[in-house]
Structure 1
């Protein structure tokens, strides 16, 4: 009877290790998801700032006098 009991104990230990690993991976995944969300928000903010800066540059360029052809 000790051989099957030993196998059950080994199996139970493996299952316990798998559960612990699963919990670790779930926590890691949650942290990575938070980082992705934060970086996505930052990227969107930077894109918005870039668009506004381009609009300001375009407005400044329109105010410049036209260039005269240099002959």
Structure 2
């Protein structure tokens, strides 16, 4: 009888471990999906940032220089 109880306990623990393993596999899959989604979002944000920097740099280049501004002010 004690032998049967021990086997039942082991079987119960194995079942519990199998369920836990399945839960962890599902959790891992969900986390992997989240990591992928966040990496894609990060890449999109980096791209948008680079485009915004390029626009700002282009605008800065269009600004008159300080010497051009001061010479136009003195000629008025």
TM-score (structure 1 length as normaliser): 0.93
Give the greater-gyration-radius structure (CA): 2
Over 2 Å off, 4+ runs: none
Tell me the number of residue pairs that the alignment of Structure 1 and Structure 2 aligns: 69
Unaligned stretches of 5+ residues in structure 2: 71-76
Query: Once the two structures are superposed, what CA deviation does each residue of 1:6-63 show, in whole Å capped at 9, x if it has no partner?
Result: 1000000000000000000000000000000000000000000000000000000000
Unaligned stretches of 5+ residues in structure 1: none
**Where in structure 2 are the equivalents of 1:35-50 lying within 5 Å?**
35-50=34-49
Give the superposed CA RMSD: 1.4
Aligned mates of 1:6, 1:23 — CA distance in 2 = 26
Aligned mates of 1:19, 1:56 — CA distance in 2 = 55
Please name the residue that 1:28 is paired with. 27
